[in-house]
Structure 1
Amino acid sequence: MRILALMTFDIFRNSLGASLESLGHEVRYLGKFDAELLATTIKQFKPHMIVDMGWDIWHVNADLRSIAKVIKKAKLFHLYFAEEDWLHFARWSKRYCEIMQPSFVLTRSPLCIPAYRDMGIRATYFDVGCNPSFHARQSVHPSYACDVAIVANGNFTLGEIRYKSVYDLVLPLFDQPYQVKIWGRDWSGIGRFYPGRKAPPSFLQGKLPFDKTPTVYSSAKICISIQTCDDQLSNRTMDILSS
């Protein structure tokens, strides 16, 4: 099957995209585009279906209504993976689906299925996993070797339990003699959310390209995955276990 994947982020291409490829499908990726380029690509590639997921850059930068018209005119099956459900259903998935009207939705939360049905969209539960061919065990890399590794943006007040997850799992490390490395945004400003606390400068490693995450997970003695919701495990939990 020829699948046109409207995906910008490497994390999407190396997860759902790569999984579709591993099943033998021919996948072409389109990240930065407009309605005209999409129509041209459809005409040239002749896909059997369109796939996209989560929150992507093109979801904001593109004119969703014009993109939806192109897909509808081509009479293509459109599969959308609502990876941000339920946390961002009202803020994002609902709005997106009201405009795009995908043929079918895979949602991370069973709680959202009735809402999709109310919009006239078929949906089923589909959780995240990992790509074991990408998140595979690697040799220890000296640049990433440490006692404890954390790969996550702060987002300290997001969801039900993220604040507590950081409080319980990360803050105690600030006072311990372990070699800790933290990759991601927001950590230098942690004191605004946890008064009196400051991440040691030696901990902060800045941004990490997604393709380096398996190396980090393989090089650290302990990897911590921060959780956000009571009823879901983060993607990174699966990736860490696979690496």
Structure 2
Amino acid sequence: MRILFLEKCQALLHGLPYGFHDAGHQVLISGLLTERHLPALLQSFRPSLIVMTGWGPELTLTQQAYLCEQIKQAQVPLVYWAEEDPAFVHIWSLPVALRMQVDFVFTVSPETVLVYREAGIRAAHMDFGYDEQLYQPGESGNGPRLPVAVVSPACPYMYRHQLEHDLAGSLHTLIWPLLALGIPVRFYGKEWGQMKPIFGLNIPRDWIVEQPGRMEARQVYRQADIVIEVQSLEKPISERMLQAAGSGSLLLARDSIGLRRIFTPGHDMLASSSPIQTVDLLRHYLERPDERKTLQAHGLRTARSHTYGQRARFMLRTLVEEGILASDAADCVPGAGEHGCPGQPLCVSDARHTVKPGESLWQIACAHGTTIGALQQANRFVSDVLHVGQILRIPHRTAEDGEQLPKIKKWLDKAARLFQLDSLLLYGIAYAESDFGQNAGMSRAGALGIMQLKERTARGLGVDRTDPWQNILGGAMYIKEMLYEFDGDLPMALAAYNWGLNHVWHAVRQGGKQWLTLAPEETQHYVIKIMKYMSEAGRR
């Protein structure tokens, strides 16, 4: 089968698309969609199935309308995988599924299946998976063994403005007791240094490491004896949990009914319900390597039952059973691929390089102005071996590669510290407003600068909007005010930053949980663009 993913982000390639590829299907990612682009893509690629995995900045309301029309004309089944449920089901998952007239929805939240069915959309539950070819046990490298590691961004904005947030319970259960007792933990992720207001304790600087890429994360999983995953009760199963277990590490997470859909605490992972239990579990299994290795082996066996290849096969079987696909749709031989199928899924917007005799990764990286690590991550390498004729994906440069970005990010980081905000939030606003200063001129609405402040707003905040640093300060102050106004609700605060405080309150009163559907298309686009940027940046 030919599977077309409607998505512009290359990061998606490491998930479900590889699952379909591993199951023997040809996969293509659309790249940024335009009204002319999709018909040509449908005609040249001739997909048997189209999959959407989110509602990002590439899918505005206008684009959704013409994409829906073109897909219906092509008579290709359209499936939506709702990865952000249940938190955003009413804000965007359900509205986009209705607007795009999808044939079926797969949601990571079992409880949300009924929401879609009540709206007249066929739906089923499907958890996250993981890439078993990239994340598997192996040599731990030259680095030292890590007793305990946390591999995830801290996302302090979630707790700073909403201390009752569900994730705060996981932090209290899993992380706080280790800090209180001085049990060493290595934190791999952004913003952990900003968590003192949440814990009441500082995390030592030498415990914190910069956010790892996929290849570095795999190495951490292989080196760590125990990996702690801070997950919410709404989303008890995460991709990182399966990656850690699939790489041979022992997983420790907060206990929940949802967690037990896949894992069996005490058999293939560790689950804690209290700070005291967390400490007891860590001390017990760190001191007993044989017991730890037994659970690690069981965890690996469990993870291998939940790969993205198996998710892809489950999706196809379900669509066949529902009569959406023909009965032979799922009969492709795993790993075989179709005739002419490239060695990996590709994105239409990818730059590509065909390996020539004698070329090395270092030579190819230098020729394309990138790094060996970026090439490895973009191409799912598990070794440095190249083959003549092999097609490599070249990581594309973005606005974040610009020369002025380091200075702008320093200012954004400084403003985040001053106002106790997550720097990823300010990065997202700077990205959406001006592409990190690339489009900082006067807008049609009279806004100016990196954070696009209007003159009246800047005057009320007491900043000079023509000065880049003060413009960032003003943006940070304004989003802080909006977060306070909406009791920490990030989508509402972002909408107010773009659309205005009174407009958002009116939409909330009129639309309830689906308030965002009453906002202008520009505002809906704006909110989702920043939320998606923060989500993707946090995974890097």
Q: Which amino acid aligns with 1:80?
A: Y
Distance 1:39 1:133, change over 3 A: same
Query: For the residues of structure 2 that align with 1:163 and 1:199, how far apart are their CA atoms?
Result: 16
Q: Which amino acid aligns with 1:219?
A: Q
Distance 1:199 1:10, change over 3 A: farther
Partner residue of 2:246?
A: 242
The structural deviation recorded for 1:221 is 2.2
Query: For the residues of structure 1 that align with 2:90 and 2:172, how far apart are their CA atoms?
Result: 27
The TM-score normalised by the length of structure 1 is 0.85
The structural deviation recorded for 1:104 is 0.7
Query: For the residues of structure 1 that align with 2:50 and 2:78, how far apart are their CA atoms?
Result: 5
Partner residue of 1:170?
A: 175
Q: Which one of 206, 225, 228 corresponds to residue 224 of structure 1?
A: 228
The structural deviation recorded for 1:10 is 5.3
Query: For the residues of structure 2 that align with 1:177 and 1:123, how far apart are their CA atoms?
Result: 46
- Name the structure where helix makes up a greater proportion of residues: 2
Which structure 1 segments of 5+ residues have no match?
none
SS at match of 1:121: coil
Q: Which amino acid aligns with 2:194?
A: G
Q: What is the aligned-residue RMSD (CA, Å)? A: 2.7
Partner residue of 1:94?
A: 94
Partner residue of 2:468?
A: none
Query: For the residues of structure 2 that align with 1:122 and 1:190, how far apart are their CA atoms?
Result: 42
Distance 1:236 1:95, change over 3 A: same
Distance 1:221 1:35, change over 3 A: farther
* Residues 144-187 of structure 1, C-alpha deviations (whole Å, 9 max, x = no match): 85332211122344896311111221233335665533222332
User: Does residue 17 of structure 1 match 2:14?
Assistant: no
Partner residue of 1:187?
A: 192
Q: Is the 8 A contact 2:55 2:96 kept in 1?
A: no
- Name the structure where strand makes up a greater proportion of residues: 1
Q: Which amino acid aligns with 1:236?
A: R
Query: For the residues of structure 1 that align with 2:52 and 2:12, how far apart are their CA atoms?
Result: 9
Q: Which amino acid aligns with 2:18?
A: A
* Residues 115-154 of structure 1, C-alpha deviations (whole Å, 9 max, x = no match): 2123322111212222222211132134585332211122
User: Does residue 49 of structure 1 match 2:49?
Assistant: yes
Q: Which amino acid aligns with 2:241?
A: T
The structural deviation recorded for 1:47 is 0.8
SS at match of 2:149: strand
Query: For the residues of structure 1 that align with 2:203 and 2:58, how far apart are their CA atoms?
Result: 34
Q: Which amino acid aligns with 1:237?
A: M
Q: Is the 8 A contact 1:225 1:236 kept in 2?
A: yes
Q: Is the 8 A contact 1:150 1:223 kept in 2?
A: yes
Partner residue of 1:4?
A: 4
Q: Which amino acid aligns with 1:69?
A: E
Single out whichever of 4-13 and 197-206 deviates more from structure 2.
4-13
Partner residue of 2:36?
A: 36
The structural deviation recorded for 1:33 is 2.9
Distance 1:72 1:197, change over 3 A: farther
1:131-150 alignment runs, 5 A limit: 131-142=131-142, 146-150=146-150
Q: Larger radius of gyration, structure 1 or 2?
A: 2
Query: For the residues of structure 2 that align with 1:226 and 1:113, how far apart are their CA atoms?
Result: 25
Query: For the residues of structure 2 that align with 1:62 and 1:97, how far apart are their CA atoms?
Result: 14
Single out whichever of 175-184 and 198-207 deviates more from structure 2.
175-184
Query: For the residues of structure 1 that align with 2:210 and 2:81, how far apart are their CA atoms?
Result: 29
Query: For the residues of structure 2 that align with 1:69 and 1:13, how far apart are their CA atoms?
Result: 26
Partner residue of 2:152?
A: 152
